[in-house]
A and B are shown apart, each in its own frame.
Chain A
């Protein structure tokens, strides 16, 4: 069983670049070391979430699929 996210953001219907903006807005709501997840159908999110992590010094953990088949991207807050 993989580690659960402390907070999950539902950005299912949001267009690019809103899922990444939401991620940045809510990063401070999880503790350093905890996971934050964003659910987004926006195809750009698959590239832009890892790119955001690299640019902002956070850890990109994994991409996975929700029980009902939506893409979910998981990030660990490092600072």
Chain B
């Protein structure tokens, strides 16, 4: 179980209660090779097909459009690079500068990047993107459904792209929490971000999409996947996804209102703070802000000492010692950064406890440097 002070669900959500029993049962029932024709094999195959059907239903897609992968990152790599490989145009991928590093790494490995700008809220400049996509060397547009650091929802499905330029959408931050948009040819999700187990990604490829496997193939149940199927994992992921979608209206509305409280209280009670991202058209559970003159690592450490777990995009908290490329592209303050994200059972009292503690923590860290 999470403690009330764990405010980092966007990094990973604990296993949804609806998935726990399913996972335990499937560990015993779904161990066999789903390609074998004997009874245990047929049992595993049945569970795998159930997981695919349930996932398709929860997402509003066809079962044969669903592929399970070993991670969300792998689903991003497969989905995006498969569209590049299938393209009749060039190998350039147009994407906003705020895409997740999984997208940026995939492009660096197997395509050429053309980055387009974002507004101060982190939303892609749609006119720049559509203009760039018209170039004949462009094979694919990559646009996240919503930003993983600042929560801003992107205009997927509302852009006028050339007919032969498919769109890949990284839906890892939003899958289950928001309905999937229209207008994509391939999409990716990550189960541990909606309360499924780690080690399960979801790749969606539209029936009519020109997608070609960019990596070596295999002879598994699903021609787009490689390696032995994680049947217990995908079944638990599907159970969690169904549960999250069923409760999304209630949980999402509650989280949206709680994030409004954080945005309002932090902005009013901490001097020299910048609360960023779109205040309305955003993920329900996530908010990011930066505090002037504050060392991000000290902020994470001091909040953790008080039992409050948050993420940070500040340079000093990153292994690379460079600031978050998302905050950089938005042109907002990168130091003293906090990303707070709510769990499904986070309460108003939990949020208030954070907001009560923050001004003192920030003031104490500033006082160390005489500010």
Contacts and interface: CB of A to CB of B under 8 A. Distances in A.
The A contact surface, by secondary structure, is: helix
B91 interface: no
A63 to B, nearest CB: 13
Given A21-B293, A24-B371, A47-B327, A15 B333 contact: no
Contacts of B295: 16-17
Contact of B335 (A16, A50, A56): A16
B315 A21 contact: no
B333 A48 contact: yes
A24 B334 CA distance: 16
A1 interface: no
A23 to B, nearest CB: 10
A16 B332 CA distance: 15
Interface in B290-307: 290, 292-296
A47 B314 CA distance: 11
Contacts of A56: 272
Contact of B323 (A18, A24, A47, A50): A47
A55 interface: yes
A46 B296 CA distance: 17
A43 B315 contact: yes
Interface string A41-61: 011101110111001100000
Interface residues of B, number: 25
A47 B333 contact: yes
Contacts of B314: 16, 44
A35 interface: no
B217 to A, nearest CB: 41
A42 B334 CA distance: 12
A20 interface: yes
- Which of B292, B316, B336 gathers most chain A CB within 10 Å? B292
A15 B294 CA distance: 12
Interface in B333-371: 333-336, 369-371
Contacts of A55: 272, 274, 292, 333
Contacts of B369: 18, 21
The B contact surface, by secondary structure, is: loop
B323 A51 contact: no
Contacts of A51: 274, 290, 331-334
B336 to A, nearest CB: 7
Contacts of B321: 43
Interface size class of A (residues with CB under 8 A): 10 to 19
B119 interface: no
Given A44-B323, A48-B333, A17 B294 contact: yes
Given A15-B316, A21-B369, A21-B371, A47 B334 contact: yes
A15 B316 CA distance: 8
B322 interface: yes
A43 B292 contact: no
Contacts of A24: 293, 371
B218 to A, nearest CB: 41
Nearest to B330: A47
A66 to B, nearest CB: 21
A16 B323 contact: yes
B297 to A, nearest CB: 10
A44 B371 contact: no
A44 B321 CA distance: 9
Contacts of A15: 316
Nearest to A15: B316
A25 B371 CA distance: 8
A46 to B, nearest CB: 8
Nearest to A42: B315
Q: Which 9 A-B pairs have the closest CB atoms?
A: A17-B335, A51-B333, A44-B323, A44-B315, A16-B315, A47-B328, A44-B334, A43-B322, A16-B335
21 contacts: A16-B296, A16-B315, A16-B316, A17-B335, A18-B369, A20-B292, A20-B335, A21-B369, A21-B371, A25-B370, A43-B323, A44-B314, A44-B334, A47-B323, A47-B328, A47-B334, A51-B290, A51-B331, A51-B333, A52-B292, A55-B292
Interface of B: 272, 274, 290, 292-296, 314-316, 321-323, 327-328, 331-336, 369-371
